[in-house]
Amino acid sequence: MKPKLALLAAAVAGLFAFAPGALAAGPVDAVKSDIAKLQADLQTAHDILIADAKKLTADAQAAKGGNAAAARATIKADRAKLRADRKSAHEILKADRMQLRADLKAAREAKVDRAELKPLLQQLRATAKQLRAEIHAAIVEARQAVRELRESLKK
């Protein structure tokens, strides 16, 4: 397959994969698909960030009392991965929220009954709050493990 044709095919596939709201039948369907995509991306970000934080915690605990230079290099790499994944997730979720906001505005302009969307949005908020709290707890635990590692290396 020619490279340009392969690139075009990938672009078309990406368009259909990342624009479910554009293919929806109406404003309510667009909002529902945006909510589903945002929830899926939230769950993916949660899983990735939790795994990164747990790896950082485990590496910090394993490095206690060991070689300071090796521990520093390992922790630095883990922190860089956590930061990069966090930034990437933030950008993806920001784009999802902007799409949801635009579709909600279109639904409002189409005079869609708010009672139809309110429970979906409330569930989305509750899920997002819970996932953010779990991510925060894992990152706090990782920070504490790194602090304890620093203290053990000072001795």
Kindly list the averaged pLDDT for each block of 10 residues, start to end, along the chain of length 155.
Answer: 48 50 72 97 98 97 90 96 98 98 95 93 97 98 96 85
Would you report the helix, strand and coil content of the chain in percent, each value rounded to 5?
90, 0, 10
Query: Which pLDDT does position 86 carry in this prediction?
Result: 98
Query: Which pLDDT does position 66 carry in this prediction?
Result: 84
Query: Which pLDDT does position 154 carry in this prediction?
Result: 84
HSE (side-chain half, CA atoms, 13 Å) at 2: 3
**Residue 21 and residue 106: Cα distance in Å, rounded?**
11
Structure tokens at 104: 């909600």
pTM for the model? 0.79
